[in-house]
Structure 1
Amino acid sequence: MKKLLIRPAQLAVLAFTFTWQASAQTLPADINQKLITAAQGSIVELPGLLNEQLPKINYQKMVLPGPQYIISDDPEYIRVPEAISLQEKVTPGTVRLYVYNVNGVKEPAKITTKIVAVIKNTGTTPMHIRMLKYSSQQPSGNYFQIGKQGLADYFAATPQSNIRTVEPGKILAIDPAQEKFLVKYDDLVHGFYDFVIDQPGEISVVQTDPKTPIATALARAKVLPPKSRSGAGRGLFGVSNYRLLSNDTIDTKNGITQMIIADGQLDPWVLGYEGSTGNMASLAGNYGVMYHTELKWKSTNGKGLALVTWNARSGNNQWCSGMANTMVVSGGKFKEGIIQLPSDRLITKKAPEAILVQVFPPAANGEEQTIHFTYSPPGASCLPTPLIFIPVDMK
């Protein structure tokens, strides 16, 4: 199973028959019941509801201070037995690294490799490196599970106290586990890291055979050219964190609304720099970018607000057949925290399936409330993954 390719928003929208208008103030009783009784993270079927043409929430997007952001996902499939799939320079400070590479070697035969991200100290004094967030998964062909679990582990991670040292001119595996992992053909190597360094450095992602020291392979391997047939992109990008604020207060009396993130149009792809060519790079999908979102809402008709998501692009092509994600969402009917989507199975497939993220009860006096959530585009899934807000009767 390959990583799912992003498809442009202008591709044909899935056709569904509406049994009622999105602006209607009353849901069919059976759908309302499903939404208010379902377990958090579970799949609920919402026939006649899911459509990409639902009214959209307008929002402002602000770039937040954040780490230098590097992603290695081009070429996604490393088809050369020994090669460098990414090489970028970083300055002292905080760095975010997202590794998403697959052992794609099949000529003259399929082989087992290792894929390791390393940092070289290019300064003149010892480099000290400390991990702030660490998310590392065993290589696997189950890309959906890796992408979902990778985000869950990242959100749950806390700063480590251990400080490692890299002497000038030397290298260090950013994730020591990667040096031990054996990567079979078509297995995905997935790592998501925030760390801090105090010397300039150079980050490389290297594939070689399991017995070759990474330093040896790094010294002799060539950097592969970017922009292969698959992969979101690679390079050093100018945005790692966004803050999203809604322009208007959501009111349950106005019916269903949706928030569209990471579609490449309403929310354009972030731009960066690819070190091996010196060219500008685009990160198709904004994978690894954190969206810290704040939405104001109120209930002037006494209804609550259910938040669901779905696989809107399931009909585009064979690679969009499933979606899995993880978010951090503020408290409502369910407590605040990290939720894997879906939580009751690996993926959601297509409409009428939706995933219940949270249900927000109305305030007793109808006053304005705030919804917070942290979203990052889910690796291995087609985008966008719309976030839909549905007024529900909770009585």
Structure 2
Amino acid sequence: MRLTYPSFILCACTLLFTAAVNAQVPSGADGELSKALASSKPGQQINAPQLNLTTTSTPIIELTRTPIDGPQFLLSDMPEYFHIGNGIAMQERVSAGTVRLYTYHVPTPASPKKKISAVIENLGNEPLIFKFTRYAFPTPGSYYQKVAKEGMTDFFKAAPPFKRARRLKPGERMVIDPQMDKYITKKDDLVHAWHEFTISQGARITVFQADPEDNPLTVIDTLPKLPRQFKDHPRSGAGRGLFKQADYLVTPAEKDHVYDTADGIKQLILADGKRDTWMTGYDHIADLPTTNKGNYGAIYNIKINWKSSDKRNLALIAYTPEGTGKWCQNRAMVLKVNHGSQRGGTIQIPSKNITWKQFPEVVLIQNFARKANKEIQTIELTYTPPGASCLPIPFVLVPYDPNP
């Protein structure tokens, strides 16, 4: 094709720009970083400035989020702080089946001795059988990332302390979690709980703040239903209400995509509200549609197929982007990863500290070694966006030399 002079200049500039950008994006780890990745264990913090990671310049594998069978989901995180005193933060009806209730609240600052609790009422004409399937109620406290991390760990363990089923007569009420109901909060305590259970009848779930001496089974009849945010306190939390979908399969958007280490560093971005949109539901207190700004309480089942045509190994890491503001520099999470070069399972990110800092610090999730007898392998993650940490938290695939 013949190029005119202006077109030639344009193409030359484009090539120079592309080369400059590509020069800033490493194709993998260098020798020093390869050694660090190969010798690290899941959850270990690593200094990796040479990766030049950013959410805008580092290449992205586009993903698709497909709903899969899961529980009805209830979110109670709005208003996040009970600024004006006692009241009902969330009240929703659910059907027979499995329910996941995610609670994230801080008590009234001026009166720290409160309790934040949840009550279930049998709305059916037959006895309701209630049984926990998963449970997490870490001791509330003011180190929010610690409380959130403990909650995620217990939830992934799927070992509820209340193993017996409970029975409710038609119209009868009970507290969902006796331990949570007994806890008397202190100033700035974060009450963070995961309650997943099965019920045999339709029911109503109420999450509320009350005084310690109040009877939880009757006080909800007189407590005010709180607005989603207060006039003098616009900071109101991620959302509240009933969401019909909360469990997802996450795979590359390109059908049958197989990541190749020869393609260089690639990142996965989830729960950013843009590429991965917020969950939508309905808030029956406000009688309005609602969103979960953070997709907190959702479970992502992530599967990425990969191969190594250049005979390099692969590290999966996480990082906190630079320039995210004062309150977003330190993050923490818990996830499950399949076996790789190290044993998989539930991994604390990071493992030796509560949080990690923004880039150039990164945290290893897992190493995966190339197998000569298996061309295509799979990375499997179970992830939930972590409460008390800013989002998104990008995951990065980093090829590295197994013999640096």
Asked if TM exceeds 0.5, the reply is yes
SS of match in other structure, 2:208: strand
The structure with the largest alpha-carbon Rg is 2
CA contact (8 A) 1:285 1:383 kept: yes
Structure 1 CA distance, aligned partners of 2:308 and 2:342? Answer: 19
Residue 117 of structure 2 is matched in structure 1 by 116
Residue 243 of structure 2 is matched in structure 1 by 237
Q: Please, which of 265, 272, 275 is the counterpart of residue 266 of structure 1?
A: 275
Residue 5 of structure 1 is matched in structure 2 by none
SS of match in other structure, 1:333: coil
Describe the superposition over 1:119-175 as per-residue Cα deviations: whole angstroms up to 9, x where unpaired.
Answer: 111222221100011111111111101111111111111476411012222221111
Give 1:28 deviation, angstroms: 2.2
Q: Please, which of 224, 227, 234 is the counterpart of residue 226 of structure 2?
A: 224
Residue 278 of structure 1 is matched in structure 2 by 287
Letter in 2 for 1:97: L
Q: Please, which of 300, 304, 312 is the counterpart of residue 303 of structure 1?
A: 312
CA contact (8 A) 1:206 1:217 kept: no
Describe the superposition over 1:12-62 as per-residue Cα deviations: whole angstroms up to 9, x where unpaired.
Answer: xxxxx999543535x322111111112220110101322212111122221
Residue 291 of structure 1 is matched in structure 2 by 300
Q: Please, which of 50, 56, 59 is the counterpart of residue 55 of structure 1?
A: 59
- Where does the alignment leave 5 or more consecutive residues of structure 2 unmatched? 1-19
Most deviating of 192-201 and 379-388 = 192-201
CA contact (8 A) 2:228 2:236 kept: no
Letter in 2 for 1:353: E
Most deviating of 287-296 and 315-324 = 315-324
CA contact (8 A) 2:175 2:217 kept: no
- Where does the alignment leave 5 or more consecutive residues of structure 1 unmatched? 1-16
Q: Please, which of 332, 336, 347 is the counterpart of residue 340 of structure 2?
A: 332
Structure 1 CA distance, aligned partners of 2:190 and 2:205? Answer: 19
Structure 2 CA distance, aligned partners of 1:57 and 1:281? Answer: 29
CA contact (8 A) 2:116 2:208 kept: yes
Structure 2 CA distance, aligned partners of 1:85 and 1:393? Answer: 53
Aligned CA RMSD, in angstroms, stands at: 1.7
Residue 11 of structure 2 is matched in structure 1 by none
Give 1:212 deviation, angstroms: 1.3
Residue 22 of structure 1 is matched in structure 2 by 25
Residue 195 of structure 2 is matched in structure 1 by 193
Give 1:366 deviation, angstroms: 5.8
Describe the superposition over 1:81-139 as per-residue Cα deviations: whole angstroms up to 9, x where unpaired.
Answer: 32111111111111010000111332xxx331010011111222221100011111111
Give 1:209 deviation, angstroms: 1.2
Give 1 or 2: higher helix fraction. Answer: 2
Structure 2 CA distance, aligned partners of 1:24 and 1:84? Answer: 53
Structure 1 CA distance, aligned partners of 2:96 and 2:373? Answer: 51
Structure 1 CA distance, aligned partners of 2:26 and 2:120? Answer: 53
Residue 369 of structure 2 is matched in structure 1 by 361
Structure 1 CA distance, aligned partners of 2:377 and 2:112? Answer: 55
Residue 72 of structure 1 is matched in structure 2 by 76
Structure 2 CA distance, aligned partners of 1:346 and 1:91? Answer: 38
CA contact (8 A) 2:70 2:247 kept: yes
Structure 2 CA distance, aligned partners of 1:288 and 1:221? Answer: 26
Letter in 1 for 2:215: P
Give 1:304 deviation, angstroms: 0.7
Q: Which consecutive aligned stretches of 4+ in structure 1 deviate over 3 angstroms post-superposition? A: 17-21, 158-161
Structure 2 CA distance, aligned partners of 1:262 and 1:100? Answer: 18
Say if 2:403 is the partner of 1:373: no
Say if 2:331 is the partner of 1:323: yes
Residue 174 of structure 2 is matched in structure 1 by 172
- % same residue: 37
Letter in 2 for 1:167: K
Describe the superposition over 1:286-312 as per-residue Cα deviations: whole angstroms up to 9, x where unpaired.
Answer: 011100011100000111110000122
Most deviating of 53-62 and 64-73 = 53-62
**Residue correspondence of structure 1 range 14-163 to structure 2 within 5 A:** 21-24=24-27, 27-49=29-51, 50-52=53-55, 53-106=57-110, 110-158=111-159, 161-163=163-165
Give 1:367 deviation, angstroms: 0.4
Structure 1 CA distance, aligned partners of 2:342 and 2:214? Answer: 50
CA contact (8 A) 1:20 1:48 kept: no
Residue 3 of structure 1 is matched in structure 2 by none
Most deviating of 329-338 and 357-366 = 357-366
Give 1:333 deviation, angstroms: 1.1
CA contact (8 A) 1:242 1:291 kept: yes
Give 1:392 deviation, angstroms: 1.0
Structure 2 CA distance, aligned partners of 1:156 and 1:203? Answer: 24
CA contact (8 A) 1:78 1:103 kept: yes
Describe the superposition over 1:259-292 as per-residue Cα deviations: whole angstroms up to 9, x where unpaired.
Answer: 0110101000010000112210011000111000
CA gap of 1:19–1:353, structure 2 versus 1, over 3 A, is farther
Letter in 2 for 1:291: Y
Letter in 1 for 2:203: G
SS of match in other structure, 2:49: coil
Give 1:217 deviation, angstroms: 1.9
Residue 261 of structure 2 is matched in structure 1 by 252
Aligned residues: 374
Residue 356 of structure 2 is matched in structure 1 by 348
CA gap of 1:104–1:82, structure 2 versus 1, over 3 A, is closer
